[in-house]
Amino acid sequence: MKKAMNMSRAMRWARVLGVMGLLLALGGARAQEARAETGSSPAPAPPAGSPYALRRQRLLERFADGIVLLHARSTPKAEDQPSFVQDATFFYFTGLGHQAGAILALDGPRKEARLFVPPPPEAFGFRVEGVDVAPGAESARALGLSRVEPWDALVPYLRARRSEGVTRFYIDEARRSEAIGAPATLAPVAGDKTLWRRAIVEALPGARVESAAPAIREMRWVKSPEEITALRRTAQITAMALRAGLRSLRPGVRQRRAEAAVITACIEAGGDRPSFWPWTMSGPNAHVPALVRSVYDERQLDRTMQAGELVRVDIGCGLDGYGADVGRTAPVSGHFEAGQRETWNLLIAAYRAGLAAIRPGATIAQVMAAAREALVRRGQVTTGGQDQLVTAQAREAVRSLTAPKGMGTWTLHGVGIDSGEAPLDTLAAGAVIAFEPTFSAGTDAFYLEDMILVTASGYEVLSAGLPYTAEEIEAAMAGR
């Protein structure tokens, strides 16, 4: 019996390997055909006059006294990740969404852009076709670069430029502090930006290695018309996925089932991937101190949702290199309880007051102040000695949110290639932002988020058509 099973297993593997061989052969043939037709590498090649070339020119002008070094994502996607996701800054300046490991050098004194590329990558022991840029003049012309050179030429180039008088080298930084995976007494073993800085410092002892992050953040804050079109599409796809997520909520269902519904809806609506794994955090998981533990939990804090609880549905779909970030709070049972309803509608009123303050030149602090003032008005005592609120939960929400530093969890951040980008303090026409109030009242956590374009005269909600009030949320959950 065991011998027969082994023979059967061997035959199955033979068939699988045969199919794999056929697919690899077809893929190789198609790649060769693509090279023959284009006369260049099959990797995407933005033209010289593309937005990427114009962005590189702006950065060259900004750092005319040194060399900016931007690193692509270093590794292929892990097998448990939904897709390869390029380093956002590298993508912003090259448009190369598939190229791993490459290094873009923007030489300010020479006003030139060089790309240093690794050898063709491998996966499962096979060479991967169609994702790498080949060194040479042809690739440089196609990409609008001064030169495309092999990886090994990078350090000799940097050392030669230093001997010629270049003393400053600039790199990007992570939006938040990176986990380095080792005690401070050891060299870091994790953190792409941390490791890249260390590599440059060790290759160029004594050189000044400084941050280009503030300038890059300023450039990425205001989106081009093409970027706005891309983000409008990701917002629309994500809005459809959010409605699917709301319809999947019910007592006795695991959070993972709701996450799966969101991912399926992202793909069916035309997205490439989730821009981040969905947070469908119910009951105690929805409070911020608890939900952040999900990034260290192999089950994503999975639990069975219970009647009476609220769920934070915080999601984003990605398309063509751009992400999204949208969300709502919803009742597991499909109906808000009295305190939840009043508290949620209170949040909506404050949120809309914040929206009304969004315009070019307004500061994030002013948007938050407008929302806070709306909460203060709702909590004021009337001339008859009664406040305007009915439930204890809503009163608690107003007390906590209007206290000093009470709105510290209300955030506003940028959205672009990354679903969460660092904001500037002042809004500008063309910025795409996510306005994200989050707070707890009693045993419940409340959260709301839209993608918003700052226009010349105010704002436009890109994630349009989503429910706001408690009654609208309930209708959306019922499929209406």
Position 387 scores a pLDDT of 63
The sheet carrying 112-117 orders its strands as 147-150, 112-117, 103-107, 66-71, 168-171, 208-211
Express as a percent the part of the chain with pLDDT over 70. 88
How confident is residue 377, by pLDDT bands cut at 50, 70 and 90? confident
pTM above 0.85, yes or no: yes
The residues pairing with 387 across neighbouring beta strands, listed in sequence order, are 381
Distance CA 235, CA 62 (A): 32
Cβ neighbours around 295 below 10 Å, total: 9
Position 39 scores a pLDDT of 34
Record the tokens describing residue 418, joined without a space: 């990354």
Record the tokens describing residue 441, joined without a space: 């009242």
**Average of per-residue pLDDT across 264-287:** 97
| pLDDT over 70 (residue 138) | yes
Strands 310-315 and 279-282: antiparallel
| pLDDT over 70 (residue 81) | yes
